[in-house]
Structure 1
């Protein structure tokens, strides 16, 4: 079960943490500053967790590093959805914008968010520099690359944009998305993620790796598998939002 438990833990944490963030984001605007303040405190705790686990190559160290990296990631998710960490451009994309002009407007809409990711990634790298447990950095890197892939695909155009996940104060972001059956980048990203997930699973089940490495690779492999699933959610006619109906209920009274 050294592969099964990390996979199950990743699945449950992915599903539950997404729902909690959506629920908190749907609460009245007056609560958002307290939510962001609490998330910032947890960010500090998470960075301490990254530092504490960096030299720990026990299975418990793998769990701590993975959880801490996800908590760091959750901070920027909350900051973005609450509207505190987005970008200098907070209006819709002009309807006539095309090509690089549209790219420029889109970058300005999420610039602070992207800079925050760079700072957080650098912080994790520094806290674990030269240490044997690099799972926190691997986890953050996978989340970063998969989110970048998702952003590029919704910018170029996919079938399902899941607009309902964005709160009212971020509705202008919809104008930077494009709804279409697919785009040329999508198959490339799906093949790349599939190959990465397969390589990670292969490393996880290899007989020559230690228990720690098998656990760490299982975390990464499951995270990549979930990223692959999320990419397919973009184009398949499936009501994926039903997975988090409970997290969206907080928006109902304010709709």
Structure 2
């Protein structure tokens, strides 16, 4: 597919998704108004609670529509250079008042399954969590609650991750869990946000919109327009290394993470060397 066709297809898809999200927002708003009328006439708390639920749903769909429209606008303006290819997460970051945001999907053990980022600093921050096994996305996902830290509190809260994050020049992080009914599938981390984000419900609303309408739901796209990275090369390298070293895949993965952190490289860079055979991590090979 030539870049112009690819650009137009994804822009049109995003606009269609945005239009459907706005329709759902309008429907939810109409339902909320009906419930509010019933609540006023009957004095029943049930109708009031239902109205509030519909209002939250409308807010969620409207937020999703805006994110889709922002991505569509970027794709339409894209000149075709792969290095400048628009990222869906760029719009997410801007909606949160920053340039750096990352979405991480977690497994039941709270290990990373995939990651999507808006820029290099946010991706580097998620690589640190992947290598070290600690950080705000892990805590937000495991605890199902908002996690925030700034300045020295980052280093004191996460002894390994904190200093490494500070070395990236990041001074503050706020992370919201991606909650579903009875569980949590990951987290949305925002780095160096604008003033007031932590005191508002903006981050929670956006995280809810991502969970309910972008990652899940009838218009779900968990790949985020090809922006999600499942760390396939790292998983492949762990398989190769487990055979070479005669160890479990989990242990091989731990060796790759440790080497990446020690050498100051990304896990993907170490994985590439392992797969190509230019780096030997197992003794005796």
Q: TM-score, normalised by structure 1?
A: 0.32
Report which of the two structures shows the higher radius of gyration computed on alpha carbons.
2
With CA pairs under 8 Å and 6+ residues apart, which has the higher RCO, 1 or 2? 1
More strand by share: 2
Q: TM-score, normalised by structure 2?
A: 0.30
More helix by share: 1
